[in-house]
Structure 1
Amino acid sequence: MIFKGRAKRQKNLLYVNRDSFTFLQRGLFQKNAPKPIVLTLGEDVMKDMEIVSGEKFVQALSYWLDNSKIAPCDLVIVLSSDVYFEYAVQSLTQGKEEDDQIKMFLDAIPFEQSVSRVIVDDSAKRVVVLSRDCYDLLLEFLEKRYMRVLALLPASLVGIKALEDIKIDQIIKNLDDYKKFNFLSDFERRFVPESFISRNAPKNTRNLKIMIVLFSTLILILGVVLYLNYFRNA
């Protein structure tokens, strides 16, 4: 019999809204599926798509993970359309006129630090802008909690309009197809090294419990045998 000491890491999803985070496990909205776990943040923590207090932000997330018993796992982060800016470039413009249009949009973004991309898809061109400070801090926090982020996806780019539209298995299956929508590469932190993950993966205690029961049974049997032999020889 082979006992494996490590449990396979789960792949789950974190949905980021304007004032909340929702942790979603696979099997969402199916019968007997785990319910979404929600963290609601006050305006003293997040406001207008930016973090007001980094300290309170980390404290709130830490308490939420600990209190909800959310174990280290692989995560796909999906951003609600409420937490980033998006602009559809006019199809009739091109060249310098198009560049000026994009620049005007970017100049109007209120973020102190931002990450932006021009996404071309099905003959449409969209500009998407995220807050760098917000997701830098979020990714750093998750990394310290042994969470490995696989993707950072704006919801509108992957066809999600609301929480109910999310199909975790489908998103995870199509991650390769979503590469051009994945903003993770725009941040310094990308993946926690596999060696680091393996050292800190949650242990499979079920096999350990089985071994303890077997060992206890053997000790009991040995005790009975010694007891019977003692009285037989007395």
Structure 2
Amino acid sequence: MQFKFNKKFLTLIIGFISLGVLVSGCSKGSADNKKTLTVGTTAQTYPNSYKKNDKLVGFDIDVTNEVAKKIGYKVRWKVIGDVPGLFGALDSGKIDTIANAVTVLPARQKNYNFSRVYSRYPAQIAVLKDSKYKSVKDLEGKTVSATIGSSNIDLLKKYNSKVNIKTYDDRNAVFTDANSGKVDGVLNQRQFLQTTIKKQKLNLRILKDVIGENKAAYPFKKKQDQKLRQKISDALKTLEKDGTLSKISKKYFNEDVTQK
């Protein structure tokens, strides 16, 4: 069987092929030859992830941007208000990882692989300055506030299960209720307690007892390709060695939270 093509039809076909080549070329250029890393964060964890003049800033934000730069990626941020929501987005594939001081916990390691640890935070409790509490033991039978999904909750349960914990969706209420005496204390990482108490001028002091240590890293689904996780771990190692992580830490915490 033979087909006859007229000149107009042939010209039209060639035109479509040429257009496809041009569009393909533009698509590559528009991405700046960089892959995209979609990262979830709460924008409510001061000073790790928060908004300043409508701009997303913080320790974890800066570290992630530096990591992405090192591995040749650009970051697309996705703000999700709480930790359970962040992990839900990770599970569904809406984000590649989380940058929000995510603690490496045995329960989480069952479902996720983690990058190299890039920051460490001791868990402690803050109480009213004029309260009688001197240690965590003094809080047995009393109630402290904590953010829902916080790794500090598990640490306190292991350290002293006799202290009651009230969880909150509202990260601000965790502190304001402790400051107003509605609860007997607030549970969080020491650095977060220090910076929030100072920033909001709260009438709180931090108990000396260290409940445990939170080691923060980037989580990845186990079924996910682990090449990206390794690239990020390698970048973190480089940024630690050249002092970049320490510099960012001192910018937000006035101390180095990246070292043991």
Scaled by the length of structure 1, the TM-score of the pair is 0.30
Scaled by the length of structure 2, the TM-score of the pair is 0.27
